[in-house]
Structure 1
Amino acid sequence: MPRISAATVAEHRAAQLAALLGAAVELIHEKGIEAVTPKAVGERAGLARSSVYEYFASRDDILVAVAIAAIERWDAEVEERLAGRTGMERLSLFVYESMRMAAEGRHHIATQLAQAQLSPNDRDELARMHAELMRPVDLVLSDLEVEQPTIVGALTQSLLEGGMRLVEHGADPDVVADRIVRMLTSAIQH
């Protein structure tokens, strides 16, 4: 039986999974998604390739797991920061948090993963999860009883995505967030 490096087998497996996901993220940041292979991820994590296959059946499974982990982490952080906020204050904070996270390079993973040749089912699942990240915007638009909330929500998402691209290319995240908030405030309140 292989030696475990934690108090329990479950903790050991969780630590190995975290190491594999971390290794995959590092490879994506350094070399792009094409560098993510079971062999490369295992080597980066200090695990045998056979160990990688205990967690992931394929390269696509690794990429999907990285995306899911990133989306879940982003969502949890945003929800925590937005707790107790409502209306335009909630929307404004959501915009600022999104630009901050983009400045930290966290949206880069999504940009890279969008280029991956994943199965249609995996793409659909990730698209559904990504759409869920807009839940705070949808709630604000509903609370404010905005006319045509679906259209306004889609336009808001486009502004956010454009803002994140600007930030990823060096624009000041606070300046971008401020401009987006002004545009949204003007559009929603008129």
Structure 2
Amino acid sequence: MPRITAATVADHRASQHAALLSAAMEILVTEGAAGLTPAAVGARVGLARSSVYRYFSSTADILAQLVEDAIPRWAARLTGATAGGPGLEARIRAFGQVTLSFVAHPDYALLRALVSVELPQECQDRLDQLHETMIAPLRDVLAEAGHEQPDLVAHLGWAILGEAQHRLAAGAGDPALVERTALDVLCRAMLT
């Protein structure tokens, strides 16, 4: 029988779940998606593979839960970056800076992993919903400024930033130049 290491069974399960997610993220960052399996995650925290299946149904489920954990943090950072501020351009630029900073964070490994794993449709649908929460702060800033097409323009801006992220992650070009150019293009596109 497993040893309970918390005050309640629910607390124990929550602690184990958090430890498994942390281990999964470490594996993802150091070994990539190919190294991420329920067995590897269990081994990292000292649990049998069969015990890991109490928390995750598959590798795709592990990834989905990592995304569920990470996206709200980034959405909150994006919302904070666009809150108030000295003007529309500064708020758009702040949104872009936070979005581009994602590349240097370990959470960026999630994007690379998601491309290599086929997610069940319900996971993909949820991922799409979460993705929208990251675009929402830019859309809100544009709507507040009276832009006629805030949703479309926010998505186009997200595409600009996505290309810049891709180039930064690939090491294509001087990072400072890529960031500066992307932010300039983003602001010009949003402010016309």
Is this a same-fold pair by TM over 0.5?
A: yes
Q: Quote how far apart the aligned CAs of 1:172 are.
A: 5.4
Match of 1:121 in 2: 122
Residue 116 of structure 2 aligns to a residue in which SS? coil
Aligned pairs (5 A) from 1:9-158:
9-85=9-85, 87-158=88-159
Match of 1:188 in 2: 190
Return structure 1 stretches of 4+ with deviation > 6 angstroms: none
Change (3 A) 1:95 1:22: same
TM-score by length of 1: 0.86
Residue 55 of structure 1 aligns to a residue in which SS? coil
Given that residues 103 and 168 in structure 2 are in contact (C-alpha distance below 8 angstroms), is that contact kept between their aligned partners in structure 1?
Answer: yes
Change (3 A) 1:22 1:149: same
* Identity value in percent: 37
Q: Quote how far apart the aligned CAs of 1:37 are.
A: 1.6
Given that residues 87 and 143 in structure 1 are in contact (C-alpha distance below 8 angstroms), is that contact kept between their aligned partners in structure 2?
Answer: no
| Range 84-93 or range 129-138, more displaced | 84-93
Residue 119 of structure 2 aligns to a residue in which SS? coil
For residues 59-114 of structure 1, give each alpha carbon's deviation from its aligned partner in whole angstroms, at most 9, with x where no partner exists: 22212111211212222333344443363222211111111121224323122213
Given that residues 99 and 177 in structure 1 are in contact (C-alpha distance below 8 angstroms), is that contact kept between their aligned partners in structure 2?
Answer: yes
State whether structure 2 residue 160 is matched by structure 1 residue 159: yes
Residue 54 of structure 2 aligns to a residue in which SS? helix
Q: For 1:82 and 1:4, locate their aligned partners in 2 and report how far apart those are by CA, in whole Å.
A: 43
Q: For 2:161 and 2:137, locate their aligned partners in 1 and report how far apart those are by CA, in whole Å.
A: 13
RMSD: 2.2
Given that residues 64 and 122 in structure 1 are in contact (C-alpha distance below 8 angstroms), is that contact kept between their aligned partners in structure 2?
Answer: yes
Given that residues 81 and 91 in structure 2 are in contact (C-alpha distance below 8 angstroms), is that contact kept between their aligned partners in structure 1?
Answer: no
Match of 1:177 in 2: 179
Change (3 A) 1:152 1:134: same
Q: For 2:75 and 2:119, locate their aligned partners in 1 and report how far apart those are by CA, in whole Å.
A: 22
User: Which residues of structure 1 form unaligned runs of 5+?
Assistant: none
Residue 97 of structure 1 aligns to a residue in which SS? helix
Q: Quote how far apart the aligned CAs of 1:5 are.
A: 2.5
User: Which residues of structure 2 form unaligned runs of 5+?
Assistant: none
Q: For 1:55 and 1:43, locate their aligned partners in 2 and report how far apart those are by CA, in whole Å.
A: 14
For residues 91-146 of structure 1, give each alpha carbon's deviation from its aligned partner in whole angstroms, at most 9, with x where no partner exists: 21111111112122432312221321111221121122112210111011111222
Q: Quote how far apart the aligned CAs of 1:39 are.
A: 1.0
Given that residues 92 and 187 in structure 2 are in contact (C-alpha distance below 8 angstroms), is that contact kept between their aligned partners in structure 1?
Answer: no
Q: For 1:111 and 1:162, locate their aligned partners in 2 and report how far apart those are by CA, in whole Å.
A: 14
The size of the alignment, in residue pairs, is 190
TM-score by length of 2: 0.86
